[in-house]
Amino acid sequence: AKSHHVVPVVLASDWHLDEVVKPEQINGLNAYNRQIAELRLRRYFENTIKITRNYLKGFDYPGIVMAGCGDILSGNIHEELRNTNADVIMSSMFHWLPLVAAGLKLWAAEFGKVLVTWVVGNHGRMSVKPIYKNRARENFDWLFARILQRDLAGDKRISWAVSDSNRAFFTVCNTRFSMTHGDEARGGSGIAGLLSPLMIADARARK
């Protein structure tokens, strides 16, 4: 009677972990490397708690949802990525899995329950061109989630919904979500920008 139940749904997408961007190669405009990614990952988990507790007060949080939308790792789909990533992809997974697991445990301690929903992106695929059969299982995003799920199997506070397709469906507080990475929506220009390909992709999905 005194407080509203709120379940945060927090996007986890396009982290491109272990991609390297050197500022001297792009006129000093930006930079990205493993050290920066580790800092961002830590802030992602910690600031989620900070926002819900310090800026959205007065709510009861019975749990939290991580909406994993793919491209967690930089991947090998382009030759330049394969040659310039901070590490080879298997070794990258070995480095990042414990850090993400620690973040999920942090959320579990704060919110009590964590639901991890997961779809794959395009950067984690093992084929040169996109595929449709075995799209998820032939993708390092899927493997990343499955290893996380296995490593955290003993933590009953964390539940999993790892999709075997390019789309995942889940319901939070009577609101149904349809989640996808979105790489099937291509093109877009002019005043409509990305809206047109998004609307087309949505119409095809509904059909």
For a pLDDT cut of 90, what percent of the chain falls above it? 65
Look at phi and psi of residue 14 and say left if phi exceeds 0, alpha if psi is from -120 to 50, else beta: left
Predicted TM-score of the model (pTM): 0.88
Task: Note the pLDDT of residue 206.
Answer: 82
What confidence category does residue 120 fall into, taking pLDDT thresholds of 50, 70 and 90?
very high
For the chain, the C-alpha Rg in angstroms (whole number) is: 18
pLDDT tens per residue across span 124-158: 888 878 778 888 899 999 999 999 999 999 999 99
Task: Note the pLDDT of residue 7.
Answer: 94
Task: Note the pLDDT of residue 163.
Answer: 93
Asked if the model's pLDDT at residue 117 lies above 80, the reply is: yes
User: In whole angstroms, what is the distance from residue 29 CA to residue 18 CA?
Assistant: 19
